């Protein structure tokens, strides 16, 4: 069923949103403080240059589905749903400038004061997590004297369009994220996006706000990564295109969800060694690769987060479950858990360690030698039995998924702090233990 929608802010996002929603059969009223943009849209011309938009604006304006006004009050009273896509630029220090958003909240709130019917507001501008709940809703409640969730609803629905292909991106988004307080408040927005053929996810507004930033940060990371790889390939006189093409062909480990689950630091015999070798070679070539060079410090920082979380408990007796760099291997080379154990010993902790695959009795060959030569002080802290470590610890650190969860649960004492570094799958989380936390979940 068509809806009547107002769109506040007729820039790149707002103009495309307004025209596309009108093309879908909705009655759309654009609103802007810029008289020129309003006049253009209202007379059937696109306020921005974007492929396909000019024609779409003209057709829908002629069909009386797309108009524009500077009168925010009239726009709120004549529509059921309002999109907000005003600019949220950076201030000089990088802080987000919310003045446009606050101004819209004032205007929309003042209009809601005199509107009897329920109204839904959809924030489409990119704003930091918490903005909808802590800035937008209070501003609207103040200006309207009404209550969110009772008289009006506010949802956050991030926009994923890219300039240059904005119309196509609107109709074929990677996914649609509907952020709202509950299913009932999201319902009118869900209905408005019912045409979408790609997945729709419903979540709370803050998570929806965060996902937009995660996407953009990841896109920036990908561009930076590709460019640094390209730069070193060029210096080495390699065919960058071939390297990049073959790299992306791996959809199991490279272009995939692999390694993208927040958990503990990376380690092992390859990743740190190979990163160091590559960045050292770049230095020899007089190339600065700040992104690749930042990975080892970033990893170290993650280990320090675990150290801080453990020391915060102000208990000396610490138990570490897991020591090798991943379950099922006894390889201790560059294991982040070995670094963690060393740091804890340095801080004066009374440490006991258990790892299913690592115990001095079982160790063979190079790893036995490694413990004896490199970390003899850790070797003497290894226990054959996880129970001995659990019983010893005031703070228990879960560094491996290779634990018997039921046995662990049965032995945990209520006052024991449990720090889960490996982010056990939700269903396996020991959520009924009160002093249970992670370092990045
Ligand atoms: N441009 C993109 O590709 C893109 C993509 C996704 C998300 N976003 C986000 O969407 C938001 C809008 O981006 P944009 O590029 O369309 O911005 P823009 O600067 O092109 O347009 C913003 C519009 O808002 C209007 N405006 C400001 N205050 C207003 C008010 N009180 N009432 C009505 N209109 C008002 C301005 O006059 C302007 O026309 C930003 O938060 C941006 O980060 C942009």
**Measured from the CB, is residue 108 less than 6 Å from ligand 1?**
no
Q: How far is the CA of 145 from the centre of ligand 1 (A)?
A: 27
Q: How far is the CA of 48 from the centre of ligand 1 (A)?
A: 12
Asked if 397 and 310 count as a contact pair (C-beta separation under 8 A), the reply is yes
Q: How far apart are CA 177 and CA 165, in angstroms?
A: 20
Q: Residue 31: left (phi > 0), alpha (psi -120 to 50), or beta? A: beta
Instruction: For residue 8, report the distance from its CA to the centre of ligand 1, in Å.
Output: 9
Cα–ligand 1 centroid distance for 158 (angstroms): 13
Instruction: Check if 50 has its Cβ closer than 6 Å to any atom of ligand 1.
Output: no
pLDDT for position 409: 84
| Ligand 1 atom at shortest distance from the alpha carbon of 103 | 31
In contact, 268 and 274? CB cutoff 8 Å = no
CB-count burial class (<10 Å; 0-12, 13-18, 19+) for 217: exposed
Q: What is the rounded CA–CA span in Å between residue 229 and residue 206?
A: 34
* Cβ of 146 less than 6 Å from ligand 1: no
Pairing of strands 417-420, 395-398: parallel
Q: Token digits for 425?
A: 């799958």
Q: CA 441, CA 437: separation in Å to the nearest integer?
A: 8
For ligand 1, whether the C-beta of 69 sits within 6 Å is: no
Q: Is residue 34 within 8 Å of residue 18, measured between CB atoms?
A: no
Distances (CA, A) of 3 to 65, 81, 191, 272: 11, 8, 9, 55
φ, ψ for residue 248 (rounded to 5)? -75, -10
What dihedral angle (degrees, nearest 10) is formed by the CA atoms of 313, 317, 319, 323? Answer: 100
378 touches 398 (CB < 8 A): no
Using the atom order of ligand 1, give the atom closest to the CA of residue 158: 7
Nearest protein Cα to ligand 1, atom 17: 87
Mind listing the pLDDT tens digit of every residue in the chain (441 residues)?
Answer: 789 999 999 999 999 999 999 999 999 999 999 999 999 999 999 999 999 999 999 999 999 999 999 999 999 999 999 999 999 999 999 999 999 999 999 999 999 999 999 999 999 999 999 999 999 999 999 999 999 999 999 999 999 999 999 999 999 999 999 999 999 999 999 999 999 999 999 999 999 999 999 999 999 999 999 999 999 999 999 999 999 999 999 999 999 999 999 999 999 889 999 999 999 999 999 999 999 999 999 999 999 999 999 999 999 999 999 998 887 788 888 899 999 999 999 999 999 999 988 865 565 666 677 777 878 888 889 998 999 999 999 999 999 988 888 888 889 998 999 999 998 766 666 666 778 889 998
Q: How far, in Å, CA of 367 to CA of 3, rounded?
A: 67
Q: Which residue out of 36, 73, 83, 86 has the highest number of ligand 1 atoms within 8 Å of its CB and is therefore the one to mutate?
A: 86
Cβ-based neighbours of 310, under 8 Å, separated by 6 or more: 318, 344, 349, 395, 397, 419
SS3 letters for the chain? CCCEEEEECCCHHHHHHHHHHHHCCCEEEEECCCHHHHHHHHCCCCCCCCCCHHHHHHHHHHCCCEEEECCHHHHHHHCCEEEECCCCCECCCCCECCHHHHHHHHHHHHHHHCCCCCEEEEECCCCCCCHHHHHHHHHHHHHHCCCECCCEEEEECCCCCCCCCHHHHHHCCCCEEEECCCHHHHHHHHHHCCCCCCCEEEECHHHHHHHHHHHHHHHHHHHHHHHHHHHHHHHCCCCHHHHHHHHHHCCCCCCCCCCCCCCCCCCCCCHHHHHHHHHHHHHHCCCCCHHHHCHHHHHHHHHHHHHHHHHHCCCCEEEEECCCCCCCCCCCCCCHHHHHHHHHHHCCCEEEEEECCECCCCCCHHHHHHHHHHCHHHHCCECCCHHHHHHHCCEEEECCCCCCHHHHHHHCCCCCEEEECCCCCHHHCCCCCCCEEECCC
Atom of ligand 1 nearest to the CA of 127: 41
The number of C-alpha atoms within 13 Å of 128 and in the hemisphere containing its C-beta is 9
Residue 158, pLDDT score: 97
- What is the spatial distance between Cα 221 and Cα 291, in angstroms, rounded to a whole number? 8
Look at residue 404 in the predicted model and tell me its pLDDT: 86
Q: Residues in the chain, how many?
A: 441
- What is the position in ligand 1's atom list of the atom closest to the CA of 31? 33
Gap from CA of 161 to ligand 1 centroid (Å): 12
Q: Are 41 and 14 in contact (CB under 8 A)?
A: no
Give, rounded to a whole angstrom, the gap between the first and last alpha carbons of the chain: 40
CA of 122 to the centre of ligand 1 (A): 14
Let me know if 270 is a catalytic residue.
Answer: yes
Contacts of 32 (CB under 8 A, 6+ apart): 8, 9, 10, 14, 38, 47, 68, 70
Write down the pLDDT at residue 42.
98
Question: Ligand 1 centre from 123 Cα, in Å?
Answer: 11
Atom of ligand 1 at shortest distance to CA of 14? Answer: 16
**Chain-centre distance of CA 277, in angstroms?**
30
CA–CA separation, 105 and 31 (whole Å): 13
Token pair in block for residue 388? 């001995």
Q: What is the pLDDT of residue 431?
A: 63
What pLDDT was estimated at residue 93?
A: 95
Q: For a substitution probing ligand 1, which of 20, 74, 83, 85 has the most ligand atoms within 8 Å of its CB?
A: 85
Q: What is the pLDDT of residue 17?
A: 98
Ligand 1 mutation target, pool 6, 8, 9, 105, most atoms within 8 A of CB: 9
pTM of the complete model: 0.94
pLDDT digits (tens, 9 = 90+) for 297-325: 999 999 999 999 999 999 999 999 999 88
What number of other Cβ atoms are within 10 A of residue 364's Cβ?
A: 8
Select which of 20, 105, 155, 270 is catalytic. Answer: 270
Q: What is the pLDDT of residue 423?
A: 83
Pocket-testing residue among 6, 10, 12, 96, ligand 1, by greatest number of atoms within 8 A of Cβ = 12
158 lines ligand 1 (CB under 6 A): no
* pLDDT for the residue 1: 78
CA–centroid distance, 118 to ligand 1, in Å, is 25
């Amino acid at each position: 069923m068509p809806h009547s929608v107002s769109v506040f802010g007729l820039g790149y996002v707002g103009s495309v949103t307004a025209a596309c929603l009108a093309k879908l059969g909705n009655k759309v009223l654009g609103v802007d403080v810029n008289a020129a943009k309003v006049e253009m849209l209202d007379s059937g011309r696109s306020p921005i240059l974007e492929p396909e938009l000019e024609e779409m604006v003209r057709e829908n304006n002629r069909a009386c589905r797309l108009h524009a006004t500077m009168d925010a009050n009239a726009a709120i009273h004549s529509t059921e749903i309002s999109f907000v896509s005003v600019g949220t630029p950076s201030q000089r220090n990088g802080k987000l400038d919310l003045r446009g958003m606050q101004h819209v909240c004032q205007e929309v709130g003042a209009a809601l004061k005199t509107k009897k019917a329920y109204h839904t507001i959809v924030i489409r501008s990119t704003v930091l997590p918490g903005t909808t709940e802590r800035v937008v809703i209070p501003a609207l409640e103040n200006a309207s004297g009404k209550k969110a969730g009772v008289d009006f609803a506010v949802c956050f629905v991030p926009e994923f369009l890219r300039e240059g292909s904005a119309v196509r991106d609107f109709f074929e988004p990677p996914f649609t994220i509907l952020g709202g307080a509950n299913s009932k408040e999201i319902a009118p927005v869900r209905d408005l996006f019912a045409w979408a053929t790609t997945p729709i996810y419903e979540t709370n507004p803050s998570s929806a706000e965060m996902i937009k930033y995660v996407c953009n940060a990841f896109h920036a990371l990908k561009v930076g990564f590709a460019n640094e790889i390209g730069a070193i390939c060029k210096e080495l006189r390699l065919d960058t295109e071939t390297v990049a093409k073959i790299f992306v062909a791996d959809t199991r480990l490279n272009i995939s969800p692999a390694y993208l689950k927040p958990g503990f630091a990376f380690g092992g015999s390859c990743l740190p060694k190979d990163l160091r070798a590559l960045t050292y070679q770049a230095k020899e070539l007089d190339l600065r690769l700040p992104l690749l060079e930042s990975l080892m410090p970033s990893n170290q920082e993650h280990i320090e987060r675990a150290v801080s979380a453990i020391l915060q408990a102000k208990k000396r007796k610490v138990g570490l479950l897991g020591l090798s760099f991943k379950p099922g291997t006894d390889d201790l080379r560059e294991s982040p858990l070995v670094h963690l154990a060393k740091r804890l010993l340095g801080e004066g902790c009374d440490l006991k360690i258990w790892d299913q695959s690592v115990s001095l009795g079982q160790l063979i060959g190079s790893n036995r030698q490694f413990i004896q030569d490199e970390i003899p002080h850790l070797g003497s802290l290894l226990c054959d039995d996880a129970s001995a470590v659990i019983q010893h610890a005031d703070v228990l650190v879960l560094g491996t998924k290779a634990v018997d969860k039921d046995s662990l649960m049965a032995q945990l004492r209520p006052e024991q702090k449990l720090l889960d570094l490996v982010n056990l799958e939700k269903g396996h989380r020991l959520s009924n233990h009160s002093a249970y936390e992670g370092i990045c979940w």
